[in-house]
Amino acid sequence: MPEGHTIHRLAARHRALFAGQTVRVASPQGRFAAGAALLDGRTLVDTEAYGKHLLHHFDDESALHIHLGLYGRFADGELPAPAPVGQVRLQLSGARHWLELRGPTACEVLDPALVAALRARLGQDPLRDDARPRLAYDRVVASGRPVFALLLDQTVVAGCGLIYANEVLFRAGLAPVTPGREIGARCWDELWDDLRALMKEGVARGRIDTVHTAHTPEAMRRAPRVDRHGGEVYVYRRTGQPCLICGTAVSRGPMAGRNLYWCPTCQPGSERP
């Protein structure tokens, strides 16, 4: 599933392509036909990302809400738009560009009250300037759940996914099994600031890189990481490989229904969950 930085990149791209334009909206697949009819001929005012949710705001105060889930993907290009191929849920075109959406978990039109309800159930998004990290901390410190699980909980931190959760905890030297109630305010502030910086870099670069300069392939004279997710990381999907800092084999285990990765030496107390 795309992490928050990908959704923020999409919001920025769609804003650049369509904001301020009257758009044509259709659903070649038919599953979004009623919603497309509501938006067709409207002006797309702005776009925004909140966690893993994408919102297109229109001039009648309605919003197109999209959650890509595991299989959703966008394509876009310059007009003329190609003939739809396959299961195209949404087709949108503006003055010079077209956009297609396939396979999303959610593609729906929301009124302002429903948009407000969506925001209310989400946690704080590190990539948003209006984020309030202390509200997230209030939920963290009130919980006995492991900090790894709390980072993945979208009602606590919106937009943080599996890669960022694993990597930011390694960079902090923090055991992923540490209960939220044991996380001090200063520790949380440092964790949040690092997560925000990493995710902002992800927006800028279009991939997730989490290693410090001293641990890049060039600096360490090692081969670049080969993985379909791309990017240089410390522990994510590096099970059994030597830690880039201490050389200890990276461990893996299940937690919160997801794969947890950690270094037993650099993250003391991370006994297998």
Q: Report pLDDT digits (tens) over 240-265.
A: 999 999 999 999 999 878 899 999 99
Active-site residue, from 96, 132, 181, 258: 258
CA distance 245 to 243: 5
258 in catalytic set: yes
99-112 confidence digits (pLDDT tens): 999 999 999 999 99
28 in catalytic set: no
2 in catalytic set: yes
What would the mean pLDDT of 63-73 be, rounded to a whole number?
A: 97
Active-site residue, from 2, 126, 133, 146: 2
Active-site residue, from 28, 42, 48, 52: 52
CA distance 119 to 13: 22
* DSSP H/E element including 261: strand 258-262
Please give the C-alpha separations between residue 125 and each of 15, 109, 135, 155, in angstroms, as whole numbers. 19, 22, 11, 10
* Site of tokens 């990597």: 167
200 in catalytic set: no
- Flag whether the pTM goes above 0.75: yes
Report which of 180, 173, 129, 163 is spatially closest to residue 260, judged by C-alpha positions.
Answer: 163
